[in-house]
């Protein structure tokens, strides 16, 4: 991912505004709006890491849990027909709907990355 940074399990976007000129971004995959900016590529990496550290420090000081980018649960709205078909297939395989979907997603992702 050329336009993403990762630090301490957090991801940040990287964008460039040629009119300003400035690099900018925000923490992705969390609800809190944490943004950062810099004038060069090395600076944006440092600004991102500083933003993550500042966010974690603030959460600790305020005794609030820091949001995790990926909690491991996901609410997907399937619609009636797809839900029914998946439930029947899962029952035939004698697994839960959750396991059926997880297994299918793992196979799909492995195929996409091979």
Percent over 90 (pLDDT), the chain: 89
Q: Domain locations in the chain?
A: 4-61, 80-112
Question: What value does the CA radius of gyration of the chain take, rounded to a whole number of Å?
Answer: 20
Query: Average per-residue pLDDT in the chain?
Result: 95
- Give mean pLDDT in consecutive 10-residue pieces for the chain, a chain of 114 residues: 89 95 96 96 96 98 95 90 96 95 95 90
Note the residue count of the chain: 114
The pLDDT score that the predictor gives to residue 74 is 87
Round to the nearest angstrom and report the end-to-end CA distance of the chain.
17
pLDDT value at residue 3: 86
* Non-local CB neighbours of 27 within 8 Å, separated by 6+ positions: 10, 11, 12, 34, 35, 51, 52, 55, 69
Q: What is the pTM of this model?
A: 0.76
């Amino acid at each position: 991912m050329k336009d993403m940074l990762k630090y301490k399990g957090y991801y940040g976007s990287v964008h460039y505004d040629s009119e300003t000129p400035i690099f900018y971004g925000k923490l992705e995959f969390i609800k809190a709006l944490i943004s950062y900016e810099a004038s060069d590529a090395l600076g944006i990496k440092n600004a991102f890491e500083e933003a993550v550290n500042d966010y974690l420090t603030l959460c600790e000081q305020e005794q609030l849990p820091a949001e995790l980018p990926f909690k491991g649960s996901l609410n997907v709205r399937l619609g009636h027909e797809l839900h029914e078909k998946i439930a029947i297939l899962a029952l035939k395989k004698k697994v839960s709907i959750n396991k059926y979907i997880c297994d299918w997603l793992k196979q799909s992702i492995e195929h996409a990355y091979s």
